[in-house]
A and B are shown apart, each in its own frame.
Chain A
Amino acid sequence: MYDVIIIGAGVTGCSIAREISKYKVSACVVEKEEDVCCGTSKANSAIMHAGFDAAEGSLMARLNVRGSEMIETLATNLEIPFIRNGSLVVCTNEEDLPKLQDLYQRGIANGVKDLVVLNREESVRLEPNLSDQVLGSLYAPTAGIICPFTMTFAFAENASQNGVEFKFNTIVENIHKRNGCYEVKTNHGILETKYVVNAAGVYADVVHNMVSRDKMKITARRGEYCLLDKSAGSHVSKTIFALPGKYGKGVLVAPTVHGNLIIGPTAADIEDKEGTNTTGAGLEELLQKAGNTVKNLPLRQTITSFAGLRAHEDHHEFIIKEAEDSSGFIDAAGMESPGLTSAPAVGEMVVDIIKNTFQMEKKTDYIAVRKGIIHADGLTVEERNELIKRKPEYGNIICRCEMISEGEILDAIHRPLGAKSLDGVKRRVRAGAGRCQAGFCTPKTMEILSRELHIPMEDIVKSGVEAKVVIGKNRAAK
């Protein structure tokens, strides 16, 4: 019997797991994929919103601003790449200019600090590559960019360090309440628990509706993105949003913490909760819209495109509460933008809800810090040589585009909740995330995974369990 089961190992579930791990409880995260960070958390804009966007007085507004405040300390303690680069919401249409003021006022009401409305000259001075149509902007210095993978892994690893269990490839099939407790039926048997936290992302409605008569509907809202090479990464220094207006909602252009340039997302509601495919129309729309706010985008430098699904709830609001007809079942649903920014605050809030009905004692031996993966690139020559002397693998570069060594890949595999797939390695250390998109390092990373995890090459997957990279030996090797 667990005290708490959290369904979903995305950034929301992992943040909740980390908060709960501060207490003396038995907790378990169940995840249908093979790894942490496989759904919405892996495919989003990778930004920390300042908090002016959400409606005044909404839960979204409150948790956004709180999350944005919390992230700084978390980034330090858990070693998450985070930069407060600031954002500009740019207006390209005369008629829409008053909306910048509206947005400013809303931001003030939401408690966003240091907002300022800029005219064209002031905007262009901050960001020389703004398009010629830009007439003014709202500047939010508190906005930031973050590595969403590391953020999720850091929360998960820290939770794991503090005793939270993780079960992967575990699909929740049904949930029953029996004798005041819950039986969570999975493909690997039944798990019993006092509390269930639903952090199932686009599947949150499915999980919620297993328990509650008060039905929920989550729509998968697909967002397509393009990622540009590091050579294009300094095209803008701040996150550039388009002011929603006469011509609909625009797309953002932003640098990433790793130095790439990201463009996106589109927004299309779809039926398929697994529909992470990009579309011809979507990619075309993306590139056209990006050109409205930023000029001379070096689109030839595109290295990949991808799509993520936002968990859109009909009322565009987070649903973070105990189900009215099912005590002990707590939703953390509707986690669309600003879900990533809000995640730290969502963790706090969910634990507070549990504390209302469950006596939990704080741990005295809670580990508040998580050591990140050493990125040798950031070390001085002396530090790096010292490291290579101790662990020669750090001198052996595997991914030449991102300059990732075997040492870093070994760390990714052997740390708590380590990588089991090519994508798992990529999201932890960026091997294969560069301009050749794993063309050169795929065979080498496969060999390392095979050797370290004692699994044959034929069973190495890109992700999941089915996505095997090769189908068997060739004729000569048979």
Chain B
Amino acid sequence: MENYDIVVIGGGPAGLAAAASAKENGCERILILERDNELGGILNQCIHNGFGLHTFKEELTGPEYADRFIKKVTELGIEYRLHTMVMDISEDKVVTAMNRERGLFTILAKAVILAMGCRERPRGALNIPGYRPAGIFSAGTAQRLINIEGYMPGKEVVILGSGDIGLIMARRMTLEGARVKVVAELLPFSGGLKRNIVQCLDDYNIPLKLRHTVVDIDGKERLKGVTLAQVGEDGKPIKETEEYIPCDTLLLSVGLIPENELSNACKIKMEPVTSGPLVNESLETSISGIFACGNVLHVHDLVDYVSEEAALAGKNAVKYISAMETDPSDTEKKQAEPIQLVATEGVRYTVPAVINLNKMEDSLIVRFRVGNVFQDSYISVYYDEERVMHRKKKIMAPGEMEEIKLQRDKLIQFKNLRTITVKIERE
């Protein structure tokens, strides 16, 4: 068995930033395990620009953004293994992985950082009736086929779901000469960023039909067409509104699911709303010394925030290791009752979900998503019963992640603070 201080599972944006940060915070023996043939993760197929506005104050493409971090990791001399699939993580932090050269191998880590990213929800999960022909792709698969492999999935396109990858692909397929006939969204609002709706649909006159879904798929071998219908208030399709649209391609952008099979097998406690691990202020999961960041924790819209979050996870993993080395029982830092974060009234979840004041940095960013579109409403934060923050926002939507910043000294000043509640208020 090999020994490393930190093993990072995944070499995408989260894994790269976490590893770099851990190294910069003084950790020597770090290993990144990546299943694909290169570092960078899904960024490599995101050839559009718009990455890095927060981090680098410039507009980079996905591969350019990834490259900045790959360079950093390389310059810092961090080890990584490609084509390497992690098969198992045990509670005592033994990582079992496999590749062509080494076969199955095990590593004992002092800390593990989960950065496996997410996957797309497939057609099957939606139970869309009809045939199962070729020509139905999740948007990310189509993106890979075009941008990495160099092939066109089709030329007459319908897109179901208005997640960001679907919107980006509407533009990408149009630029490649395909005709994108419509983007249909089941909900009354888009799940994507506003800027993507403007730049990817509006600019190319691609209609976005809200409250619409695909109710039938035609074509036994290759897709021939789909039937679109409006959905009523009850979420059920309205028969009279059915419309047949001939097409050879259906792209699905109907949600992303954090890839937590390894975490589940390791019995890490999960948050049902995010489908990611429950974490504390250090982004540490229910198993001490195992941290999570990026889309495996909760699905982000901006990679900049992934990098920021991952850097924190990397730093905390280093802190964990040095605390263990000086005080293996970790008694000093343990807090009898950590502060619970409560997401309610329009707020679906918060990351983190609990705060241990003894481990919290001077300030902490709490990220969350709202469950509906809110106009001219307030983000309110309560310390126990007392409202301490009330910030007006012109618009909030489920597709855009929100954040608040907590200050440690304020939390300490508040005697016996038990819960911090985050909610949306109309006034």
**A residues at B contact (CB < 8 Å):** 226-227, 231, 274, 276-280, 282-283, 302-306, 381, 384-385, 388-389, 392-393, 395-397, 400-401, 403, 435-440, 442-443, 446-447, 457-458, 461-477
Q: Does B328 contact A (CB under 8 A)?
A: no
* B107, CB-defined interface residue at 8 Å: no
How near does chain A come to B72, taking the closest CB pair, in angstroms? 27
| Residues from chain A with Cβ under 8 Å of B220 in the complex | 274, 276
Of B52-60, B123-131, B283-291, B309-317, the segment with at least 4 beta carbons within 8 Å of chain A is B123-131
Chain B residue nearest to A305 (CB atoms) is: B127
Chain A positions within 8 Å of B103 at CB level: 384-385, 388-389, 395
Distance A360 CA – B130 CA, assembled complex (angstroms): 47
Give 17 new A-B contacts, CB below 8 A, not counting A280-B237, A471-B248, A477-B150.
Answer: A277-B131, A278-B130, A280-B129, A303-B125, A384-B98, A385-B103, A385-B104, A392-B101, A397-B35, A403-B87, A436-B120, A438-B122, A439-B141, A440-B119, A468-B222, A470-B152, A474-B151
Interface 1/0 per residue, B382-424 and A, CB below 8 Å: 0000000000000000000000000000000000000000000
Q: CA of A461 to CA of B134 in the docked complex: distance in angstroms?
A: 8
A-facing residues in B105-157 (Cβ within 8 Å): 119-120, 122-125, 127, 129-135, 137-138, 140-141, 144-146, 148-155
* A280-B215, A392-B101 known; A476 vs B150 contact (CB < 8 Å): yes
Contact B129 A282 (CB under 8 A): yes
- The answer to whether B222 and A466 have CB atoms under 8 Å apart is yes
B237 cross-chain contacts in A, Cβ below 8 A = 280
Per-residue CB proximity of B215-251 to A under 8 Å, as 1/0?
1110011100000000000000100000000001000
Asked whether any CB of chain A lies closer than 8 Å to the CB of B193, the reply is: no
Q: In the complex, which residues of chain A have a beta carbon less than 8 angstroms from the beta carbon of B145?
A: 442-443, 470
Q: How far is the CB of A49 from chain B (nearest CB, A)?
A: 27
- From the candidates A226, A304, A306, A472, name the one contacting B151 in the complex (CB within 8 A): A472
B127 adjacent to A277 (CB under 8 Å): no
Contact B153 A469 (CB under 8 A): yes
Is there contact, CB below 8 Å, between B132 and A306? yes
**When the two chains form their complex, are residues A279 and B153 in contact, meaning their CB atoms are under 8 A apart?**
no
Interface residues on B, range: 35 or more
With contact pairs A400-B35, A471-B153, A471-B248 given, residues A443 and B222 touching in the complex (Cβ less than 8 Å): no
Partner of A397, one of B98, B141, B155: B98
Residues in chain A near residue B98, CB distance under 8 A: 384, 388, 395, 397
List the B side residues contacting A276 at CB < 8 Å: 131-132, 220
Q: Does B78 reach chain A (CB closer than 8 Å)?
A: no
The residue in chain B whose Cβ has the minimal distance to the Cβ of A277 is: B131
CB-based contact B152/A395 at 8 Å: no
What separation, in Å, do the CA atoms of A475 and B178 have in the docked complex?
11
A439's partner among B85, B87, B120, B215 (CB-CB below 8 A) is: B120
CB contact under 8 A between A388 and B100, given known A274-B220, A277-B129:
yes
Query: CA A460 – CA B83 in complex, angstroms?
Result: 24
A278, A304, A437: most-surrounded residue (chain B CB, <10 A): A437
B332 within 8 A of A: no
Whether the pair B104, A384 counts as a contact (CB closer than 8 A) is: yes
How far, in angstroms, from A447 to B101 measured CA to CA in the complex? 21
Interface residues of B (CB under 8 A from A): 35, 83, 85, 87, 98-104, 119-120, 122-125, 127, 129-135, 137-138, 140-141, 144-146, 148-155, 176-177, 215-217, 220-222, 237, 248, 261, 264
B138 adjacent to A439 (CB under 8 Å) = yes
Q: Ordered nearest first, which 8 A-B pairs have the shortest CB separation?
A: A304-B124, A477-B150, A437-B122, A385-B103, A462-B134, A466-B221, A467-B134, A392-B100
Residues of B within 8 A of A385 (CB): 103-104
Contacts of A473 in B (CB 8 A): 150-152
Q: Does the CB pair B248–A305 fall under 8 Å? A: no
Contact in complex: A381, B150 (CB < 8 Å):
no
| A367 CA / B190 CA spacing, docked (Å) | 60
Please judge, given known A-B contacts A303-B122, A443-B149, whether A395 and B133 are in contact too, CB under 8 Å. Answer: no
A443 touches B122 (CB 8 A): no
**Residues of B close to A303: CB separation below 8 A:** 122, 124-125
CA distance A226 to B83 in the complex (A): 33
A/B interface sample: 16 pairs, CB < 8 A:
A226-B127, A277-B131, A280-B215, A304-B122, A304-B123, A392-B101, A395-B98, A395-B99, A396-B83, A400-B85, A435-B119, A446-B149, A467-B222, A470-B152, A474-B176, A477-B150
Q: Does the CB pair B221–A396 fall under 8 Å?
A: no
A458 and B153 alpha carbons, distance in the complex (Å): 10
The answer, among A400, A443, A469, for a CB contact under 8 Å with B148, is A443
- B265 shortest CB reach to chain A, Å: 10
- Residue ID in chain B nearest A281 by CB atoms: B129
Q: A225: shortest Cβ distance to chain B, in Å?
A: 11
B151 lies within 8 A of A470 (CB):
yes
A305 to B124: give the CA distance in the assembly, Å.
Answer: 6
B221 near A395 with CB under 8 A, answer no
Task: Kindly report which residue of chain A lies nearest to residue B144, judged by CB atoms.
Answer: A443
The answer to whether B83 touches A472 (Cβ under 8 A) is no
Contact status A302-B124, CB under 8 Å: yes
Given A443-B145, A470-B145, residue A437 in contact with residue B124 (CB < 8 A):
yes
Q: Are A395 and B119 in contact (CB under 8 A)?
A: no
Pick from A388, A465, A475: contact of B177, CB below 8 A. A475
Say yes or no: A395-B101 contact (C-beta < 8 A), given A277-B130, A302-B125, A462-B134: yes
- Shortest CB-to-CB span from A192 to chain B, Å, is 31
Residue of A nearest to B175 (CB): A475
Residues in chain B near residue A388, CB distance under 8 A: 98, 100, 103-104
Q: With a CB–CB cut-off of 8 A, which chain B residues contact A466?
A: 221-222
* Chain A residue nearest to B105 in the complex (CB): A385
Contacts of A283 in B (CB 8 A): 127, 129
CA of A203 to CA of B204, assembled, Å: 48
Q: What is the distance, in angstroms, from B373's C-beta to the closest C-beta of chain A?
A: 24
CA distance in complex: A443, B144 (Å):
8
Chain B hits for A443, CB < 8 A: 141, 144-145, 148-149
Known A-B contacts A443-B149, A474-B150; A302 and B127 likewise in contact (beta carbons under 8 Å):
yes
B153 touches A470 (CB 8 A): yes
The one of A403, A464, A471 that contacts B154, using a Cβ cutoff of 8 Å:
A471
Contacts known (A277-B131, A303-B122); A397 close to B215, Cβ less than 8 A: no
Q: Give complex CA distance A231, B260 in Å.
A: 12
